A and B are shown apart, each in its own frame.
Chain A
Amino acid sequence: KNEVEQSPQNLTAQEGEFITINCSYSVGISALHWLQQHPGGGIVSLFMLSSGKKKHGRLIATINIQEKHSSLHITASHPRDSAVYICAVPHSNYQLIWGAGTKLIIKP
């Protein structure tokens, strides 16, 4: 069992739909990262959160430390949101354990 698991692996939706991507982890953590990667591109850090909820524009991230679960939501999805979304948790003092990523495609 991977230490960080994401679901779904692939998600295709229509423009405007509400999107949810889930992340479960098995290790004890102090915080969790959500990152975005466009095809052929670098990685953009979206959120780092250790409790509760964070919101940035149409993106919302929540985390439940007790249940070891986090979700990333996108409201009013748009084709430009199409990307791979990755959750990652700290391992030791410096490394990140990466989830496999969720490939999101938003169709116009």
Chain B
Amino acid sequence: DTGVSQDPRHKITKRGQNVTFRCDPISEHNRLYWYRQTLGQGPEFLTYFQNEAQLEKSRLLSDRFSAERPKGSFSTLEIQRTEQGDSAMYLCASSFNHNEQFFGPGTRLTVL
């Protein structure tokens, strides 16, 4: 499968724990995006990378959130000291420049 992959697909954690998600984009894509989607809502932009550079972060991304793309390929999104309000689907997408974005299956986070 040469599409965007995300791991894990589901994560259940207790409030206060740290979690890390991984996204592997389509290999020739230089851009990688993270979105968050809560039930019944559309996706909200969190951050994006052009190669290894994080070029934009949404105000939604509090200090507890950090994203990296160290080698310009896969990316990780870490949430520290999780809160119940962090429960959502975390979506990753990739594109070549500003062309069509292709989405991964998402990681569903549940914070108890």
Total interface residues in chain B, CB < 8 Å: 22
Interface of A with B (CB < 8 Å)? Answer: 30-31, 33, 35, 40-45, 48, 86, 90, 93-96, 98-101
- Rounded to whole angstroms, the CA-CA distance of A31 and B93 in the bound complex is 17
When the two chains form their complex, are residues B56 and A94 in contact, meaning their CB atoms are under 8 A apart?
yes
A–B complex contacts, Cβ < 8 Å, 25 sampled = A31-B100, A35-B103, A40-B108, A41-B105, A42-B91, A42-B103, A42-B105, A42-B106, A43-B43, A43-B93, A43-B103, A43-B106, A45-B100, A45-B101, A45-B103, A48-B99, A48-B100, A86-B42, A94-B48, A94-B56, A95-B45, A95-B56, A96-B45, A99-B42, A100-B42
Instruction: Name the residue of chain B whose CB is nearest to the CB of A98.
Output: B42
A95 contacts across to B, CB distance below 8 A: 45, 48, 56
Of the residues B33, B56, B91, B101, contact of A33 by C-beta under 8 Å: B101
Known: A42-B91, A101-B42. A90 touches B98 (CB 8 A): yes
Give A96 to B43 CA distance when docked, in angstroms. 9
Contacts from B to A (Cβ < 8 Å): 6, 31, 33, 42-43, 45, 48, 55-56, 89, 91, 93, 98-106, 108
| Contacts A41-B106, A48-B99, A94-B31 known; 8 new A-B pairs at CB < 8 A | A33-B100, A41-B105, A42-B89, A43-B93, A43-B106, A90-B98, A94-B98, A100-B42
Instruction: Select A98's contact among B31, B43, B108, beta carbons within 8 Å.
Output: B43
B48 and A44 within 8 A (CB) = no
- B101 pairs with A44, CB closer than 8 A: no
Q: Which residues of B have CB within 8 Å of A45?
A: 100-103
Which residue of chain A has its CB nearest to the CB of B45?
A95
Query: A27–B48 Cα gap in the complex (Å)?
Result: 22
Q: Provide the residues of chain B in CB contact with A98, threshold 8 Å.
A: 42-43
